Amino acid sequence: MTNSAPIPAPTDPTRTPAWAHLDQLAEDFYPDLRHWFEADPQRARTWSFTAADLWVDLSKNLIDQEIVAALLELARETGVEEHRDRMFRGDRINVTENRAVLHTALRRPAGDVVEVDGANVVPDVHEVLNRMYDFADRVRSGQVTGISGKKLTSIVNIGIGGSDLGPVMVYEALRPYVDPELSCEFISNIDPNDAGEVVSRLDPETTLVIVTSKTFTTLETLTNARVVREWLLRSLRERGLVTDDANAAEAVERHFVAVSTALDRVAEFGIDPANAFGFWDWVGGRYSVDSAVGLSLAIALGPENFRDLLAGFHAMDQHFQNAPAAENVPLLMGLINVWYTGFLGADTHAVLPYSQYLHRFPAYLQQLTMESNGKSVRWDGSPVSYDTGEVFWGEPGTNGQHAFYQLIHQGTRLVPADFIAFANPTHDFRDGDNDMHELFLSNFFAQTKALAFGKTIDEVRAEGTPETIAPARVFGGNRPTTSIMGDRLNPRALGELIALYEHITFVQGAVWGIDSFDQWGVELGKVLAQQILPAVAGNKEVLAEQDPSTRSLIEYYREHRRH
């Protein structure tokens, strides 16, 4: 099978018989989870699935057999499975950038074959992984040192978007697996306060900087990298460790490495390409944490844990590739999201991890899902006539319960929510007779129960609630949730979880016929920032070219800025 075949034009999903059927089902739709569970004692069993090592309960969603059959028909009529197969075999499904989409090749076992333009990419993937593991081992053992001979113990990743969010999220999620002698710091924002705060915590002699940028052109990352290089050299000079250009170059060589697809630009920046770790244009930034972009993680967690993370990704890939459609969890979850956004009017989707370690997971998912599926045209340029990517958001439970759950329980909007929890905590505490993790998970179980089944006015009255305030205490129920559970949050489970959401995102994009792998929507602002910079710095002519609002904002800034 060749992977250079042109990608067929996307199907307009609204013109399929399945879409018409779903429209009709939505018209007469009166969800009643209480009744559905009473009428069908097998409902929980019917709609619970194993995906790799995760247990996923879809039963509290607003679905029944007929709806899911129609959604699976929609997937067939829009060619989701064919498109999935194109992705896995390396077809150029990123049409607007004419690129293959092969993040799944990053976690393939060494013997696998995936060809791009006739060449097997899997050996290249493992060549880079082996270099990463070797480097990680040498940093961890102290064989690689800074200019004064001290072990490098603070690993600073400078990157933004996909070159930051993945490493930060995984680092936070897997903190118990971090070598206690090492720590990671992350600089992403071009706000000078970000770099300023981080370097104030660092000892330059023990700092290893990883400049991570797929393109190595990103303004934020290159600015931060130059600023940190300047700080490092200045600090080492003050300590008498850098005295001339020759050992300044040596200091950069020992304290800076790079991760990029553009090794020529890495060299221009002054980092020896021998200290660079590559990846490929067929890895999207938001799909890259499992590439060399994860170098900080390979160092902090160690190669074994990084391998387990990749094995988790691969296990979910296999589930997505091989599980029958009716049991294929990413397929079902993606289709159910299409049902909520396209037919029931949901604009947002909450992701609520009952794991403090996953506190950056919703932020990570925002880039994954919204940069992928926030599109208004299909991959052939034709406009869509339906809603695409919903707004993903969330916070860890139970903190969210005391903040925004009110709206999810009793507000006027439909907010489908994914609840994520693990059976085993890392830290075991007891509060008197209570196991703290059980207190915690009781909330996880209680919330989806309350959202699904609510509390009727009769139940409120039966508690003796005065009639005047009874309506305010009613919970309508029928608020849809998916519960995802695992044994323990370890590297493998995290890899599975990330890949699950990658594939959910893929399924939604495939139904909508959009290119989930480009991100043209971020370009205009970047270009304008460059054009506006002279005005911000005082150039009156460039200021005069601006629209009245932008001009007055810049004027306010210039009046108030004190240097």
Beta bridge partners, 209, equal: 156, 256
Q: Residue 502 Cβ, how far from ligand F6P at the closest point, in Å? A: 14
Question: Binding string, 106-145, against ligand F6P, x = CB under 6 A?
Answer: ----------------------------------------
Q: Which residues of 9-46 are buried (b: 16+ CB within 10 A; e: fewer)?
A: ebbbbeebebbebbeebeeeeebebeebbeeeeebeee
Residue 157 binds ligand F6P (CB under 6 A): no
Strand order across the beta sheet in which 48-51 lies: 48-51, 54-57, 481-488, 417-424, 348-354, 391-393
Residue 279's closest CA among 306, 264, 265, 261? Answer: 261
Pick from 161, 302, 303, 389: which binds ligand F6P (CB under 6 A)?
161
Q: Residue 111 Cβ, how far from ligand F6P at the closest point, in Å? A: 30
Contacts (CB under 6 A) with ligand F6P, residues 490-549: 519, 522
Helix runs in 47-164, H state only = 65-77, 80-89, 122-141
Nearer to ligand F6P, 261 or 341 (CB): 261
Nearer to ligand F6P, 288 or 448 (CB): 288
Catalytic annotation on 73? no
Stretch that binds ligand F6P, among 53-61, 104-112, 210-218, 307-315 (CB under 6 A): 210-218
Nearer to ligand F6P, 161 or 454 (CB): 161
Stretch that binds ligand F6P, among 64-72, 211-219, 297-305, 383-391 (CB under 6 A): 211-219
Contacts (CB under 6 A) with ligand F6P, residues 271-330: 285-286
Stretch that binds ligand F6P, among 13-21, 215-223, 294-302, 485-493 (CB under 6 A): 215-223
Residue 446 binds ligand F6P (CB under 6 A): no
Question: Binding string, 368-397, against ligand F6P, x = CB under 6 A?
Answer: ---x--------------------------
Q: Residue 220 Cβ, how far from ligand F6P at the closest point, in Å? A: 8
Stretch that binds ligand F6P, among 38-46, 182-190, 212-220, 505-513 (CB under 6 A): 212-220
Pick from 59, 61, 154, 163: which binds ligand F6P (CB under 6 A)?
163
- The answer to whether the CB of 213 falls within 8 A of the CB of 157 is no
Q: Residue 173 Cβ, how far from ligand F6P at the closest point, in Å? A: 19
Stretch that binds ligand F6P, among 22-30, 122-130, 155-163, 529-537 (CB under 6 A): 155-163
Stretch that binds ligand F6P, among 7-15, 156-164, 347-355, 471-479 (CB under 6 A): 156-164
Nearer to ligand F6P, 317 or 371 (CB): 371
User: H/E/C letters for each residue in 232-264?
Assistant: HHHHHHHCCCCCCHHHHHHHHHHHEEEEECCHH
Nearer to ligand F6P, 9 or 522 (CB): 522
Rounded to the nearest 10 degrees, what angle do helices 80-89 and 65-77 cross at?
A: 50
Pick from 78, 218, 481, 483: which binds ligand F6P (CB under 6 A)?
218
Residue 99 binds ligand F6P (CB under 6 A): no
Residue 398: cis peptide before it, omega within 30 degrees of 0: yes
User: For ligand F6P, how many residues bind (rule: CB under 6 A)?
Assistant: 14
Q: Residue 90 Cβ, how far from ligand F6P at the closest point, in Å? A: 20
Nearer to ligand F6P, 90 or 162 (CB): 162
Question: What does the alpha-carbon distance between residue 260 and residue 163 come to, in Å, rounded to a whole number?
Answer: 10
- The answer to whether the CB of 333 falls within 8 A of the CB of 504 is yes
419 phi, psi to nearest 5 deg:
-105, 130
Residue 153 binds ligand F6P (CB under 6 A): no
Task: Transcribe 169-234 into DSSP letters.
Answer: HHHHHTGGGS-TT-EEEEE--SSHHHHHHHHHT--GGGEEEEEE-SSS--HHHHHHHHHHHHHHHH
CA-CA-CA-CA dihedral for 119, 322, 50, 64, to nearest 10? 130
AA identity, residue 113: V
Nearer to ligand F6P, 153 or 372 (CB): 372
Nearer to ligand F6P, 146 or 162 (CB): 162
Pick from 59, 78, 188, 221: which binds ligand F6P (CB under 6 A)?
221
Please tell me which residue in 127, 304, 402, 555 is annotated as part of the active site. Answer: 402
Please tell me which residue in 172, 185, 371, 395 is annotated as part of the active site. Answer: 371
| C-alpha R_g of the chain | 26
Question: What does the alpha-carbon distance between residue 168 and residue 162 come to, in Å, rounded to a whole number?
Answer: 10
Helix (H, G, I), strand (E, B) or coil at 17: helix
Residue 480 binds ligand F6P (CB under 6 A): no
Beta bridge partners, 99, equal: 94
| Stated length of the chain | 563
Nearer to ligand F6P, 95 or 329 (CB): 95
Please tell me which residue in 66, 238, 526, 555 is annotated as part of the active site. Answer: 526
Q: Tell me the residue nearest to ligand F6P as measured from the CB.
A: 285
Residue 349 binds ligand F6P (CB under 6 A): no
Rounded to whole angstroms, what are the CA distances from 366 to 97, 169, 320, 387, 391? 22, 12, 21, 17, 8
Residue 460 binds ligand F6P (CB under 6 A): no
Residue 465 binds ligand F6P (CB under 6 A): no
Question: What does the alpha-carbon distance between residue 78 and residue 54 come to, in Å, rounded to a whole number?
Answer: 28
Write the burial class of residue 464 (CB in 10 Å: 0-12 exposed, 13-18 middle, 19+ buried): exposed
Q: Residue 383 Cβ, how far from ligand F6P at the closest point, in Å? A: 23
Helix runs in 256-302, H state only = 263-269, 295-301
Q: Encoding tokens for residue 174?
A: 């897997």
Question: What does the alpha-carbon distance between residue 320 and residue 324 come to, in Å, rounded to a whole number?
Answer: 9
Residue 162 binds ligand F6P (CB under 6 A): yes
Question: What does the alpha-carbon distance between residue 509 and residue 522 come to, in Å, rounded to a whole number?
Answer: 18
Provide the annotated active-site residues.
371, 402, 526
Residues at the interface with ligand F6P (CB under 6 A): 160-163, 213-215, 218, 221, 285-286, 371, 519, 522
